Amino acid sequence: MLTDVHVAVIGGDARQLEVIRKLIEFDAKVSLVGFDQLDHGFTGATKYQLHEVAFEDVDAIVLPVPGTNLEGQVETIFSNEKVILTEDILKETKEHCKLYSGISNDYLNAITKSAGRELVQLFERDDIAIYNSIPTVEGAIMLVIQHTDFTIHNSNVAVLGLGRVGMSVARSFGVLGAKVKVGARRSEHLARVSEMGLTPFHLSNLETEMSNVDICINTIPYPVLTAGAISKMPSHSLIIDLASKPGGTDFRYAEKRGIKAMLTPGLPGIVAPKTAGKIVANVLSQLLMEDAQKRGESTS
- Are 144 and 260 within one domain? yes
Q: Does residue 300 register a pLDDT over 80? A: no
Domain hosting 157: range is: 127-265
**In whole angstroms, what is the distance from residue 96 CA to residue 101 CA?**
16
9 φ, ψ (degrees, to nearest 5): -100, 115
pLDDT of 44 strictly over 90: no
pLDDT-based confidence at 296, cuts 50/70/90?
A: confident
Q: Give yes or no for residue 26 having a pLDDT over 90.
A: yes
The answer to whether residues 131 and 261 belong to one domain is yes
d(CA 186, CA 200): 11
**Helical segments of the chain, H only:** 15-25, 87-92, 106-115, 126-146, 164-175, 187-195, 206-209, 227-230, 251-257, 267-271, 273-299
CATH of the domain at 288: 3.40.50.720
> How many domains does the structure of the chain reveal?
2
- Of the given ranges (40-44, 73-77, 198-202, 244-248), which has the lowest mean pLDDT? 40-44
Does 25 have pLDDT greater than 70? Answer: yes
Mean per-residue pLDDT, 200-220: 97
Residues 114 and 142 in one domain: no
pLDDT at residue 297 above 90? no
Determine the residue type at 17.
L
Is residue 140 classed as helix, strand or coil in its secondary structure? helix
Task: Please give the Cα distance from 47 to 53 (Å, whole number).
Answer: 9
Query: What contacts 22, CB < 8 A, 6 or more positions away?
Result: 278, 281, 282, 284, 285
- Checking if the pLDDT of 1 tops 80, the result is yes
Whether 261 and 207 map to the same domain: the answer is yes
Instruction: For residues 275-294, give the mean pLDDT.
Output: 94
**Predicted local confidence at residue 43, as pLDDT:** 86
Q: What is the pLDDT of residue 86?
A: 97
* 158 shares a domain with 194: yes
Q: Are residues 75 and 180 in the same domain?
A: no
Query: Which pLDDT belongs to residue 42?
Result: 85
- Asked whether residue 1 is assigned to any structural domain, the reply reads no
> What tens digit of pLDDT does each residue of 125-164 get?
999 999 999 999 999 999 999 999 999 999 999 999 999 9
For residue 188, pLDDT beyond 90: yes
Query: How far is CA 180 from each of CA 109, 171, 172, 174, 177, rounded to the nearest angstrom?
Result: 38, 9, 10, 6, 9
Q: What are phi and psi of 106, to 5 degrees?
A: -60, -40
pLDDT of residue 118: 97
Instruction: Look at the alpha carbons of 199, 200, 205, 210 in this order and tell me if their dihedral is positive or negative.
Output: positive
Same domain, 191 and 281: no
**pLDDT over 70 (residue 190):** yes
74 has pLDDT over 80: yes
